[in-house]
């Protein structure tokens, strides 16, 4: 089946599945009524039981009031993690398997809201099949530093892209009667000392960069759950921070749902309850501040009895939990969506979503796409090309029925060719890893025990005898240098020096057909890209990773991914490095709203690859932009496929602020759309811009404000490749309540 037809079929199947699922989601009014009716029959101890885990991933059953089974939670944003033991981080055997989709860093690189929705639907389906009621995802923390160990679990550096991608994913999950959990709220933008670090961001930076994705999750997508982060914010733990938990979530955004701590993120009983706290979760035998399921104690009920916490506060907290249970049909025993798991459809979603996320960074000599029929001898350099990743990553790990590596996919794709795998001509000695945070958070920690390497002369001889060489580099999932994972940041932006030197050596041979495939969930410091004629960048793509990469290498899928993260040339070029605002104690966001491409625009420091960059096997020509005025400004621009292949182009709309009355960025992403265009054909990109999209946070009014004046619209293929410009005028100043 042709790829475009395949995707259309998958989306049609998704629509049919949604219709057949007959979702049980109640209206807010009906859910609230059901929750209140149940609450009215509960004792104080039973109410407090609704506010703490009965085990590592469960809330308790209360049969006396009709809650006949435990409410079940599961990680993560790309799979439904195998069930954990009630009292530990261990997996009971046998483990349940499930589809492992691409990471959220990959999903962001699709710039495709349809894939985001389908991603969520697959996770919702697999939750329902497993009897899981609450999915602990998506993660929407902004990439502030490329060192963050969880960048691969998030949606990039830009708040608009993250907001527009997380909302349909949440809608997809919840269309299957499963509660989605947006996390980690808030300012949890590093793993280094995440449980103790104190973070500080000014109000404008907070509202313009770090809150929009959370706001979209709650207000636009109706996320039923929010997870608080581990860190302190202005001296107060996020799980006890009244401004964030009540002022922002409840009062400003109208959040009615369940607020849950990250596992081990609770630090008090009465103080947390009086400051907007929610459900306490941890490893089962360490839950202790609200209830102690292991010893059947009730500290919160005891605090009520002592007069430290009003029972009305406990009622309100428990009501939030019961509301979410009612919304999903769990509390009312309504018929819920019928799930499915490990289906062919889900595996195809994993493969083709992954393929569309891959970014063609360079193709200077037109080596790609490869012609499978002409290949007789292929050398793959880099042992990582056959190293499985799905079981790694701590909270992001999965248990899969199978996993296709790049080397396996190439071997299957080229049955008549000799496909050989050799390691690098470089030896990297693994160093000791500080894995305490990952272990405490329930990670099944992966560390390196050895690094394969070979003789340089042998490798060169093998490379020179091959008709095509594929070099596989980048990062792995795990907790040492050159690895990414929850619980620990990367220790260095750059690849280890021996691997950098090996890349220079291999590319310095100037072989005629060399393709570099870089895999990472975050920008990596590469010093050799000037020597690489051909470069593909992929994030972690799950169980179909190898097939997805091959689909792009051989042209079954025309690459259409765009970078969701600016790639700096070196760590010293990043905002956190220049401002000195990355440490393990007190982190002040001194770079303010100059994050990612905004920083590079402001400083004039050229990136290695700009935000939004991504090439194709075809070419696109942009026409002139026109504007239509109504409640919103509609921007239309014709885009023509000037090549010989069908392709997809993501049209990006940025806004600039000539004559601004306050400090503004040089430009900011505000809208995007993805077009599939046949060779020689033209399609019209339509992008809508509201007055609120023009607004900045006014520190004096504590509101978003759009000033009357001139605005410039920039339409581009990336943040650095602007193809069309036009202007319009906002005739009146507008202030927005939120």
DSSP 193: T
Q: Among residues 129, 262, 489, 556, which one is catalytic? A: 262
Whether residues 576 and 554 share a domain: the answer is no
Does residue 332 lie in a domain region? no
Whether residues 667 and 578 share a domain: the answer is no
Among 529, 548, 565, identify where a domain stops. Answer: 565
Q: Which CATH number is 712's domain given?
A: 2.60.40.10
Whether residues 518 and 667 share a domain: the answer is no
Does residue 271 lie in a domain region? yes
pLDDT at 23: 58
Q: Which CATH number is 525's domain given?
A: 3.40.50.1700
Per-residue DSSP letters for 415-434? TTSEEEEE--S---PPPP--
Q: How far is CA 540 from CA 100, 105, 178, in A?
A: 10, 8, 25
pLDDT at 436: 72
Between CA 415 and CA 199 the distance in angstroms is 54
- Whether this prediction's pTM lies above 0.75 is answered by yes
Whether residues 495 and 531 share a domain: the answer is yes
Query: How many distinct structural domains can be found in the chain?
Result: 4
Whether residues 449 and 378 share a domain: the answer is yes
Does residue 343 lie in a domain region? no
* The pair of three-digit structure tokens given for residue 513, joined into one six-digit string: 């057909």
Q: How far is CA 92 from CA 83, 84, 473, in A?
A: 7, 7, 34
Whether residues 638 and 599 share a domain: the answer is no
Give the residues across from 258 on adjacent strands.
225
Does residue 336 lie in a domain region? no
Between CA 584 and CA 578 the distance in angstroms is 17
Those residues whose C-beta lies under 8 Å from the C-beta of residue 68, and which sit 6 or more positions away, are: 61
Phi, psi of 323 (to 5 degrees): -60, -45
Whether residues 406 and 510 share a domain: the answer is yes
Between CA 712 and CA 700 the distance in angstroms is 26
Whether residues 604 and 633 share a domain: the answer is no
- pLDDT < 50: residue spans in the chain: 1-6, 9-22
pLDDT at 427: 87
Task: Pick the closest to residue 299 from 326, 325, 320, 277 (CA basis).
Answer: 277
Between CA 710 and CA 729 the distance in angstroms is 4
Q: Quick one: CA dihedral 429, 431, 437, 441, positive or negative? A: positive
Does residue 464 lie in a domain region? yes
DSSP 11: H
28 is catalytic: no
Q: Which domain holds residue 478?
A: 358-565
Does residue 353 lie in a domain region? no
> Could you tell me where the DSSP H helices lie in 414-496?
436-440, 456-465
Helix axes 3-21, 344-357, angle to 10 degrees: 130
Among 502, 534, 565, identify where a domain stops. Answer: 565
* The pair of three-digit structure tokens given for residue 639, joined into one six-digit string: 């885009």
Beta strands in 458-544 (DSSP E): 468-474, 476-477, 483-484, 514-519, 534-538
Whether residues 651 and 731 share a domain: the answer is yes
Does residue 722 lie in a domain region? yes
Among 565, 596, 631, identify where a domain stops. Answer: 565
Whether residues 662 and 717 share a domain: the answer is yes
Whether residues 200 and 291 share a domain: the answer is yes
Contact by Cβ (8 Å): 697, 707:
no
Q: How far is CA 505 from CA 457, 458, 509, in A?
A: 11, 13, 7
Q: How far is CA 496 from CA 95, 519, 671, in A?
A: 35, 15, 38
Does residue 624 lie in a domain region? yes
Whether residues 469 and 574 share a domain: the answer is no
87 phi-psi bin (left φ>0, alpha ψ -120 to 50, beta other): alpha
């Amino acid at each position: 089946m042709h790829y475009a037809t395949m995707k259309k079929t998958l989306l049609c199947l998704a629509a049919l599945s949604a219709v057949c699922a007959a979702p049980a989601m109640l209206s807010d009014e009906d859910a609230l009524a059901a929750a209140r009716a149940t609450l009215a029959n509960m004792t104080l101890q039973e109410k407090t039981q609704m506010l703490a885990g009965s085990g590592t991933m469960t809330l308790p059953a209360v049969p006396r009031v009709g809650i006949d089974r435990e409410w079940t939670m599961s990680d993560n944003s790309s799979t439904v993690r195998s069930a954990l033991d009630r009292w530990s981080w261990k997996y009971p055997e046998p483990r349940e398997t499930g589809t492992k989709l691409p990471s959220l860093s990959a999903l962001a690189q699709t710039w495709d809201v349809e894939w985001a929705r389908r991603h969520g639907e697959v996770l919702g389906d697999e939750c329902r099949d497993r009897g899981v009621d609450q999915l602990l995802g998506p993660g929407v923390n902004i990439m502030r530093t490329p060192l963050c160990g969880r960048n691969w679990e998030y949606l990039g550096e830009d708040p608009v892209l993250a907001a527009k991608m997380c909302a349909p994913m949440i809608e997809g999950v919840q269309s299957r009667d499963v509660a989605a959990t947006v996390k980690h709220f808030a300012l949890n933008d590093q793993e280094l000392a995440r449980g103790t670090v104190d973070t500080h961001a000014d109000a404008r930076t907070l509202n313009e960069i770090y809150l929009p994705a959370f706001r979209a999750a709650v207000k636009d997508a109706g996320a039923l759950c929010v997870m608080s982060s581990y860190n302190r914010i202005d001296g107060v733990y996020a799980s006890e921070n009244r401004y964030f938990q009540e002022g922002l979530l409840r009062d400003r955004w109208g959040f009615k749902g369940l607020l849950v701590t990250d596992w081990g993120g609770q630090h008090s009983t009465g103080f947390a309850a009086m400051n907007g706290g929610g459900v306490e979760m941890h490893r089962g035998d360490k839950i202790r501040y609200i209830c102690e399921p292991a010893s059947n104690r009730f500290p919160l009920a005891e605090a009520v009895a002592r007069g430290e916490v009003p029972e009305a506060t406990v009622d309100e907290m428990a009501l939030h939990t019961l509301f979410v249970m009612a919304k999903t049909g769990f509390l009312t025993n309504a018929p819920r969506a019928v799930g499915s798991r490990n289906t062919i459809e889900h595996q195809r979603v994993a493969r083709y979503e992954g393929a569309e996320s891959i970014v063609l960074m360079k193709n200077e000599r037109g080596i790609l796409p490869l012609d499978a029929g002409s290949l007789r001898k292929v050398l793959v350099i880099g042992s990582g090309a056959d190293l499985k990743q799905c079981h790694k990553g701590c909270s992001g790990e999965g248990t899969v029925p199978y996993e296709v590596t790049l080397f396996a996919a190439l071997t299957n794709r080229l049955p008549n060719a000799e496909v050989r795998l050799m390691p690098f001509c470089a030896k990297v000695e693994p160093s000791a890893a500080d894995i305490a945070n990952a272990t405490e958070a329930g990670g099944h920690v992966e560390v390196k025990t050895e690094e394969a390497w070979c003789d340089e002369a042998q490798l060169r001889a093998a490379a020179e005898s091959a008709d095509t060489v594929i070099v596989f580099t980048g990062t792995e999932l795990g907790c040492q240098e050159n690895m990414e994972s929850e619980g620990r940041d990367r220790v260095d932006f750059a690849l280890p020096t021996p691997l950098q030197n090996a890349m220079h050596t291999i590319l310095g041979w100037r072989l005629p057909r060399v393709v570099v495939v870089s895999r990472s969930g975050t920008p990596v410091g590469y010093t050799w890209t000037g020597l690489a004629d051909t470069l593909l960048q992929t994030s972690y793509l799950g169980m179909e990773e190898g097939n997805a990469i091959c689909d792009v290498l051989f042209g079954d899928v025309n690459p259409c991914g765009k970078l969701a993260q600016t790639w700096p040339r070196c760590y010293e070029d990043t905002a956190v490095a220049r401002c000195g605002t990355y440490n393990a104690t007190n982190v002040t966001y001194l770079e303010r709203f100059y994050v990612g491409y905004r920083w590079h625009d402001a400083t004039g420091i050229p990136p290695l690859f700009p935000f939004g960059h991504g090439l194709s096997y075809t070419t696109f020509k942009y026409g002139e932009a026109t504007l239509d005025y109504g409640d919103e400004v509609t921007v239309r621009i014709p885009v023509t496929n000037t090549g010989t292949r069908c392709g997809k182009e993501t049209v990006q709309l940025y806004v600039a602020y000539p004559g601004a009355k306050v400090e503004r960025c040089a430009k900011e992403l505000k809208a995007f759309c993805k077009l599939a265009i046949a060779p020689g054909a033209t399609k019209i990109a339509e992008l809508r811009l509201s007055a609120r999209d023009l607004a900045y946070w006014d520190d004096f009014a504590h509101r978003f404000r759009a000033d009357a004046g001139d605005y410039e619209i920039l339409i581009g293929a990336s943040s650095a490749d602007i193809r069309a410009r036009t202007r319009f005028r906002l005739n009146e100043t507008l202030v927005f309540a939120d």
